[in-house]
Structure 1
Amino acid sequence: MTDPQQPTSPHADTAPPRITTREAAELLGVKSETVYAYVSRGLLSSQRASGRRGSTFSPDEVEALARRNSRERRPEPTTGDFAVRTRLTFIDEDSYYFRGVDATRLATRHSFEETAEWLWTGTLKPGAEFTPPGTHLNAARKAVAALRKDSGPLDKLRVSAIAAATVDPLRFDLSPKAVLGTGRTLIPTLAGALPPVAGPVTAGGPIAALLWGRLTHHAPDESTLRVLDTALALLVDHDLAASTLAVRVAASARAHPYAAISAGLGVLEGPLHGAASALAHRLLREVLEQGEAGPAVAAELRAGRPVAGLGHRLYRGEDPRAQALFTQLDKVPAAAPALAAARDIVATAARHTGLHANVDLALAVLTVSCGMAPEAGETIFAIARTAGWIAHAMEEYEEQALRMRPSGRYTGPPPPQPLPTAETDRT
């Protein structure tokens, strides 16, 4: 007779008895709540206990997870540089790869959505589309409408992400399936919540088409939309940039995906990160107005500033993303003047710096030639990189929680110091 406390199966006579939540927690060395968190993230499977409250677990599955956690707690040998394991992007010489595939070839042959899906899942999904839920989009648009008129694009994107989170009761589900769902709905929500520049705009369809009327009043055509789509795909990820590291730190603390994306957007607003394309845009406009790059480049060098749009710490030659975008822009007649000005900047500065064009200069050619504002490059970058952040958050949720907790190197006065008084000199 079958024991009513045990689930029936073809191998009931050989399978080890299932264990309780408390027993699983003891084996893993965690609290019972953490066991259920493992279940929500897809790391453990559970079954309802027959005839009593609670869940049961396979002891073999629990022991395998305990061994994995034990391995990941061991300190890894380091060379003094902070490194994070990732299966997403690899940069080698003057090329970069998404899951081992040449990223520029992928981005120029497939849409932004298809490139994002490849980065997330390792599966190519032709015709992939992202659609925002009405509740998310309405909440995001109301939040954006409440901002000051002079709020920047990253302000709008941050409040959109927060507003979308408030109407998603499942935002704390960190399982891969749930996080993928968040990525597929958050990206079109961020794009669709931006106010139109002028007149009616596309309400759905590809992200490039959804974004276009929110960046410029110029009417799009097939070639310009294709360049924007390619730019989005090229910018999906680029290893551990500062904003991506912020996302992984938030995910390490098990912040939900909306909060992790908000962390990335906050870092992106720094002048040394997301604002770089706006600086290149302004420099390019100045060169077009003056008719040559010499005076503008000289002014930058005289002021002790780096020439915007040139050089990248990861590439000795030209940024491969810039190469791919310049090739696409060559096919757009309206981009010819800005493209010539960009090449003039590179040639002029090369005599002094030896630096090559980076993706910010290529983005500037796109934004200038299509009548976009200087900040448009930031918007394109942020929308694109949200896809990469989702991928990195998914990876980090699979790692040991709170692993990104470096130790501080204290350099203050040696303790113990006397208690301060109102007259204590803080210097």
Structure 2
Amino acid sequence: MTDHAAQAPGSDHGHRSSGTSSGSGTADAPGDRRLTTRETAELLGVKPETVYAYVSRGQLSSRRVPGGRGSTFDAAEVEALIRRTGRREPAPADGDLVFRTGITLIEPDRYYFRGVDATGLARRYGYEEVAEWLWTGELRPGIRFAAPEAALAAARRAVDALPPHSGSTDRLRVAVIAAAAADPLRFDLSPQAVLSSARSLIPTLVGALPLAGSGSRRAAEAAPATAVTGGGDGAPGADGTRPLARQLWPRLTAQPADEASLAVLDTALTLLIDHDLAASTLAARVAASAHAHPYAVVSAGLGVLEGPLHGAASGLAHQMLTDVVARGSAAPVVADHLRAGRRVPGLGHRLYTGEDPRARTLFALLEEVPRAAGVLAAARDVVSTAARHTPLHANVDLALAVLTVAGGMPAEAGETVFAVSRTAGWIAHALEEYAERPLRMRPIGQYRGPLPPQPLPEPVRSHGPV
């Protein structure tokens, strides 16, 4: 689930408030501040040519600069036009989509949540605490999310109706839809209502997943909890009294949960909450821009996450590490990938010049997990072997794969961890997007089809049953 997202700057992209003076703006008299064409275009979020279109339509008036070639515009008129039309996002020079966001800032060697080092947060606080802080800006130590009984029951019924071969992402997508149907207030997009939905949805998703190693949910929940986890972690309820990582663990593996492994899982959940505008997050923001309710926003994110270039990346790293452990060396496995023209999974990230800070943090914690020692050595063998061919560093997919292989989890477990974790990030972006002008993301297609007018198509003649 490597996040190949374009980095969005944490600044306001050079926007100025028209109520403050500017070094390049001109003032003819006190209270009569004039703006240059460039400043006016920046404030309106349009190209300079569009500013003059506003003039031709009588929506703005201009005044020639004495002795110059440019024009100036009355700041009060520009402010009035912004109030009438809504402030638009500027089109960046390089043509990429850029959004103002206060959630995540990515630098070449680290990343930040709300300006605070994300790895430092993950080491000190749990997933629910960081999610709540990302949503509200308030740190609430010890907070736990709880699933409403009705939503959890509906989600479990829907998940249990799926074919046995269904994957975890299939189950999560169905669980989101069922939870949405159980929430008649889902269309309330006020911040408090969205937060309430988010706090209940995340544990509902976890609680809807079947326990690992069980033939059926009914049989698993009738069995003693210690038979599943060795410590009561497999209790089916999502009552909000246990950290989310402890609730999720028995859905990922039948192996007993030790504290060191749970710490790795909780930290992984926290580190993966957000990573700027990855593909799934962009989809979530598009849905929120259309004022889709938060469940639909999460559904949009899950739909993109399932792509093999995004959410499934850790599964490829899992399979590779399993192969390395079985063959006793990374050399033949890496050689097989290179011979087939495939990238070596779990290596490289275009947003970081060195090792992915998420991977670095998880590797340090995995050192404390005795059963992970062999897999961790295999991962380091992969990095050092591949370095002979290309200097790529480990990314978070490789670190997640160490956790999933060492924990006896299936290859898709990393994708499950990512999806559950990133739900909180999608909600954070939805909260930002709900406060923006709706439907602002409307690209224009470049038509490449046949030029009109074209004749009506002829019907295809049937030659029997198809």
Task: Calculate the TM-score normalised by the size of structure 1.
Answer: 0.82
Distance 1:278 1:69, change over 3 A: farther
**Hey, what does 1:394 align to over in structure 2?**
431
Change (3 A) 1:134 1:74: closer
Which residue identity is paired with 2:422?
Answer: R
Q: 129-138 or 307-316, which moves further after superposition? A: 307-316
1:301 to 338, 341, 344: 338
Residue 347 of structure 2 corresponds to residue 286 of structure 1? no
**Contact 1:236–1:387 (CA under 8 A) maintained in structure 2:** yes
1:256 corresponds to 2:271: no
Task: Give the unaligned 5+ runs of structure 1.
Answer: 1-63
Equivalent residue number for residue 388 of structure 2: 351
Of 193, 213, 227, 2:264 maps to 227
Per-residue deviation at 1:416?
1.8
- For the pair 1:116 / 2:153, whether they are aligned, the reply is no
Mapping of residues 211-222 of structure 1, within 5 Å = 211-222=248-259
* 1:416 aligned onto 2:453: yes
Contact 2:264–2:366 at 8 Å: present in 1 too? yes
Question: Offset of 1:197 from its aligned partner?
Answer: 1.0
Q: Which aligned pairs between 1:265-414 and structure 2 lie closer than 5 A?
A: 265-414=302-451
Task: Give the Cα–Cα distance (whole angstroms) in 1 for the partners of residues 256 and 138 of structure 2.
Answer: 34
The match for 1:139 among 136, 151, 154 is 154
Report the alpha carbon displacement of residue 314 of structure 1 after superposing the two structures with TM.
0.9
Q: Which amino acid aligns with 1:107?
A: A
Deviation at 1:414, TM superposition (A): 1.5
Deviation at 1:73, TM superposition (A): 3.3
Q: Among residues 177, 185, 196, which one is paired with 1:162 in the alignment?
A: 177
- Please say if 1:130 is aligned against 2:145: yes
Paired amino acid for 1:124: L
Cα deviation per residue 1:332-363 (whole Å; 9 max; x = unaligned)? 11110000000000000011121110000000
SS at match of 2:121: helix
- How many residues align? The count is 361
Inter-CA distance 65–210: structure 2 relative to 1 (3 Å threshold):
farther
CA 1:181–1:232 in structure 2 vs 1: closer, same or farther (change >3 Å)?
Answer: same
Could you tell me how far 1:77 is from its partner in structure 2?
4.9
Aligned position for 2:204: 189
CA RMSD of aligned residues (A): 1.6
* SS class of match (1:73): coil
Identical residues among aligned pairs (%) = 64
- Shift in alpha-carbon separation, 1:278–1:415, aligned structure 2, 3 A: same
Q: Which residue of 2 aligns with 1:53?
A: none
Aligned with 2:87: secondary structure?
A: helix
User: Equivalent residues in 2 for 1:41-80 (5 A)?
Assistant: 70-73=85-88, 75-80=90-95
Instruction: Letter of the 2:451 partner, please give it.
Output: P
Aligned-partner SS, 1:249: helix
1:247 is aligned to 284
Tell me what 2:187 maps to: 172
CA distance in 1, matches of 2:81, 2:356: 43
Q: Which amino acid aligns with 2:128?
A: E
Q: Deviations over 1:58-85 (max 9, x none)?
A: xxxxxx9995574523645543221111
Q: Is the 8 A contact 1:69 1:400 kept in 2?
A: no
Cα deviation for residue 313 of structure 1 reads 1.5
C-alpha separation between the residues in 2 aligned to 1:190 and 1:65?
Answer: 46
Distance 1:75 1:309, change over 3 A: closer
Normalising by structure 2, we get a TM-score of 0.75
CA drift at 1:396: 0.7
Which residue is equivalent to 1:18?
Answer: none
What is the rounded CA distance, in whole Å, between the counterparts of 1:74 and 1:392 in structure 2?
16
SS in 2 for 1:90: strand
User: C-alpha separation between the residues in 2 aligned to 1:214 and 1:392?
Assistant: 27
Q: Deviations over 1:97-125 (max 9, x none)?
A: 00000001101110000110111111111
Q: Note if contact 2:267-2:362 (Cα within 8 Å) is conserved in structure 1.
A: yes
Q: Are the equivalent residues in 1 in contact too, given 2:86–2:437 (CA < 8 A)?
A: no
1:301 partner SS? helix
Q: For the structure 1 residues 76 and 409, does the alpha-carbon distance in structure 2 shift closer, same or farther, using more than 3 Å as the test?
A: closer
Summarize the Cα distance change of 1:132–1:293 in structure 2 as closer, same or farther, 3 Å threshold.
same
AA at the equivalent of 2:177: I
Determine if the alignment matches structure 1 residue 210 to structure 2 residue 254: no
- Could you say what secondary structure the match of 2:210 adopts? coil
4+ aligned runs moved over 3 Å, structure 1:
64-71, 73-79
Aligned to 2:65: none
Q: Matches of 1:77 and 1:337 in 2, distance apart?
A: 48
Quick one: which of 88, 92, 103 aligns to 1:88? Answer: 103
Give the whole-Å Cα distance in 1 for the aligned partners of 2:148 and 2:93: 44
One-letter code of the match for 2:94? T
Letter in 2 for 1:227: V
Q: Deviations over 1:267-300 (max 9, x none)?
A: 1110111100000000000000000000000000
Instruction: State the Cα deviation string for residues 170-220 of structure 1 (Å, max 9, x = none).
Output: 000001111111110000000010000145313331110110101001111
- TM-fit CA distance, 1:128: 1.1
Task: Give SS of 1:97's match.
Answer: strand
Give 5+ residue unaligned stretches, structure 2.
1-78, 214-219, 226-233, 462-466
- SS in structure 1 of the partner of residue 112 of structure 2: strand
SS of equivalent to 2:111: strand
8 Å CA contact 1:141–1:193 kept in 2: the answer is yes
Distance 1:376 1:224 in 2: 14
Per the alignment, do residues 171 and 69 of structure 1 end up closer, same or farther by CA in structure 2, a change over 3 Å counting?
A: farther
